[in-house]
Chain A
Amino acid sequence: MSAAVRPASVDELFAILLARDLRDDDRTIMVGANMPMARAAAMLANMTTHPDARIMIGLGVQSLGGGEAPAVHPFLFDPRTLAAETLMHQSRVFDDMSRPDVFFVGGLQLDQRGNINLFGIPDGDGGWKMRGPGGLALATMSSHCRGYYVVMPRHDARTFVERVSLITALGDAQERRRLKLPGGGIRLVLSPLGVFDFDAAGDMRVRSLHDGVEPDAVREATGFPLAIPDDVPRTVAPTADELRTLRERVDVHGTLAS
């Protein structure tokens, strides 16, 4: 028997699930800071399923159709990303809001309606109990892009909450319609426990649970009533081929492995 392929790390699983879910007509895939798994997903898709797409990673914009990916560097704005077809000018990127089809966001808190908080937790007295990173470009990108993915590195009752303390990116589908936000909203939420989306009323539901995750464990780790189907689907595990491509051609430094 040949050596077994090492099981996927959480970040490797995220990268493969994100790459799989991209739509056929996603043409420009933009990745923001501190999301190496999304950078890997964009490269993986660009090299396999989406050869015609452009990926905006770091300071450069490129298309890898059929070719080799640059490595996933630790920092987004690595100068090696300047070797590209064109450059991602921070001073011009917001001049064409029809362009980024896809974006990826993380969050301190995510709520039942899909709202994200990256500001922090207020102390109720005008100050902060816990200060977060700040808004980055979440409000702008989530308003405009055709769809975005939420990647939550932790899943517990403090991160999956009924209502976020503050809204950095508006996910609530009803509110988005009322306020005429042009973008398509959240496509999927990924966590270490499963894959989630939103029902017709705009409430989060389970789409699939990862291998070995029991429904009760997810209920317990979620700060609001979560709709879980009786016959809950299982996340299709990464194939040996997907993992090989990711490890040997995209994440060659093993940034996502640990």
Chain B
Amino acid sequence: MSGARSGGRRPVVAALDDALEVVTDGAVIGIGGAVTAGHPMALVRGIARRGVRDLTVVAPVGGIEVDLLIAAGCVSTVVGAYVGVEVVAAVGPVFRRAVERGSVAVVELDEAHVLLGLRAAAQKLPFLPWRGGVGTSFPQLNPGLVAFDDPVRGEPLLAIPALELDVALVYSEIADEFGNAQPVGTGNMDGLLGAAAEKVVLQVDRIVATEEIRRYPERTLFWRDTAVVRAPFGTHPYSNGWMTADEQHLRDFVRAAKEGEEAVDAYLRRHVLDAEDNDAYLEEVGIRRLTSLLV
């Protein structure tokens, strides 16, 4: 489905591994989704398989996508407001171990700081001001956050620096072959992640005709440079608008991660490294488990 049609519009659909070639060693990538919803896990597993190194990962409110990439040795720095599995694990277990060992650095931000940093990057500004975080340890932990007195009313504020991304990995239930995304639900921060990035890789469950997109134009998100990758059920073990998160799978992952590196490596081999593509991963999870998650 690649290559220009004569006089026609060029589709931007790509195979998962081809689309991920834009993620290179040392890149700054943003990963969409929030808490247990809408993370583009098929893309994340693809990056882990490719063995990319030294990534800076911007995860606004992150989950095991961060743990998996750390376990696969891809990450040097994590930027964001949270890494954890909510009620299953208050802190991402691989993330916690790596940070306590000092093998991964953290750039601390409040959730609103992530949003403003992405917005500043999208608006080509060096920073945007914010009040939340004034009087806290944020500027001490993250020297990029600069306290200043605002020039209009003289009130204490923080400058939130722009978060410029090389690549944003985001998810939408639906898109057409030209990169018009229509997420079911809120889209989390994905719109801004894409706007802050040079390139967007968009994971979708379904590729629909543009006529379908035209029925609800108010739902559409698009970015300048997008590759569309089809990966049904690809947010698993996280939810999308049509299925819940797989609590049991998340509990199994957390148990393995807390057990130690051997158990994490076994998980990685079984679910990531030896599963050569999204379909192989889904086979490993099993059709009964997958259909039980549909709402």
- Residues on A lying within 8 angstroms of B by beta carbon are 33-34, 36, 59, 73-80, 82, 87-91, 94, 119, 127-144, 166-170, 172, 175-176, 179-182
Q: Can you name 11 A-B residue pairings with CB atoms under 8 Å?
A: A34-B86, A59-B37, A77-B38, A79-B184, A82-B185, A87-B186, A90-B186, A91-B186, A133-B91, A135-B82, A168-B137
Residues of B contacting A139 in the complex (Cβ-Cβ under 8 angstroms): 110, 112, 132-133, 136, 138
| B130 on the A face (CB < 8 A) | yes
The answer to whether B136 touches A33 (Cβ under 8 A) is no
The answer to whether B83 touches A134 (Cβ under 8 A) is yes
Chain B residue with Cβ nearest A83? B295
Contact with A along B33-50 (1 / 0, CB 8 A): 011111000000000000
| B155 on the A face (CB < 8 A) | yes
* CB within 8 Å for A75 and B36 given contacts A33-B86, A134-B83: yes
Complex Cα–Cα for A207 and B82 (A): 32
> Which of A88, A91, A182 counts the most chain B CB atoms within 10 A?
A91
* CB within 8 Å for A181 and B135 given contacts A82-B241, A134-B83, A137-B110: yes
With both chains docked as a complex, state the minimum distance between the C-beta of A84 and any C-beta of chain B, in angstroms: 10
The answer to whether A90 touches B188 (Cβ under 8 A) is yes
The answer to whether B241 touches A79 (Cβ under 8 A) is yes
Complex Cα–Cα for A38 and B102 (A): 34
The answer to whether B108 touches A135 (Cβ under 8 A) is yes
The answer to whether B132 touches A140 (Cβ under 8 A) is yes
| B96 on the A face (CB < 8 A) | yes
Interchain CB contact (< 8 A) of A90 among B60, B110, B239, B240: B60
The answer to whether A79 touches B185 (Cβ under 8 A) is yes
Complex Cα–Cα for A194 and B54 (A): 47
Interchain CB contact (< 8 A) of B112 among A33, A73, A137, A181: A137
The answer to whether B100 touches A167 (Cβ under 8 A) is no
The answer to whether A33 touches B61 (Cβ under 8 A) is yes
Q: Give 9 nearest A-B pairs by CB, closest first.
A: A140-B132, A77-B37, A137-B111, A170-B135, A166-B137, A140-B112, A134-B82, A139-B133, A75-B36
Complex Cα–Cα for A89 and B34 (A): 11
Enumerate B46-96 residues with CB–CB distance to A below 8 Å: 60-61, 80-84, 86-87, 90-91, 95-96
Contact with A along B124-149 (1 / 0, CB 8 A): 00000011111111101100000000
Complex Cα–Cα for A133 and B83 (A): 6
Complex Cα–Cα for A141 and B81 (A): 13
Complex Cα–Cα for A127 and B100 (A): 7
* CB within 8 Å for A91 and B189 given contacts A76-B86, A137-B110: yes
| B266 on the A face (CB < 8 A) | no
Residues of B contacting A170 in the complex (Cβ-Cβ under 8 angstroms): 134-136
Classify chain B: how many residues form its interface, as a range: 35 or more
Complex Cα–Cα for A138 and B100 (A): 22
Chain B residue with Cβ nearest A169? B136
Complex Cα–Cα for A139 and B82 (A): 13
The answer to whether B35 touches A80 (Cβ under 8 A) is no
With both chains docked as a complex, state the minimum distance between the C-beta of B30 and any C-beta of chain A, in angstroms: 13
Chain A residue with Cβ nearest B36? A75
The answer to whether B100 touches A74 (Cβ under 8 A) is no
Residues of A contacting B91 in the complex (Cβ-Cβ under 8 angstroms): 131-133
The answer to whether A176 touches B135 (Cβ under 8 A) is yes
With both chains docked as a complex, state the minimum distance between the C-beta of B148 and any C-beta of chain A, in angstroms: 13
Chain B residue with Cβ nearest A89? B186
The answer to whether A140 touches B130 (Cβ under 8 A) is yes
Residues of A contacting B100 in the complex (Cβ-Cβ under 8 angstroms): 127-131
| B277 on the A face (CB < 8 A) | no
* CB within 8 Å for A135 and B81 given contacts A78-B244, A90-B60: yes
Residues of B contacting A87 in the complex (Cβ-Cβ under 8 angstroms): 185-186
Complex Cα–Cα for A170 and B242 (A): 39
The answer to whether B81 touches A181 (Cβ under 8 A) is no
Residues of A contacting B106 in the complex (Cβ-Cβ under 8 angstroms): 131, 134
* CB within 8 Å for A33 and B138 given contacts A131-B99, A144-B132: no
The answer to whether B134 touches A78 (Cβ under 8 A) is no
Interchain CB contact (< 8 A) of A167 among B137, B191, B242: B137
Chain B residue with Cβ nearest A108? B90
* CB within 8 Å for A74 and B247 given contacts A127-B100, A129-B100, A134-B108: yes
Complex Cα–Cα for A169 and B137 (A): 9
Complex Cα–Cα for A94 and B116 (A): 9
Residues of B contacting A130 in the complex (Cβ-Cβ under 8 angstroms): 100
Complex Cα–Cα for A164 and B87 (A): 24
| B109 on the A face (CB < 8 A) | yes
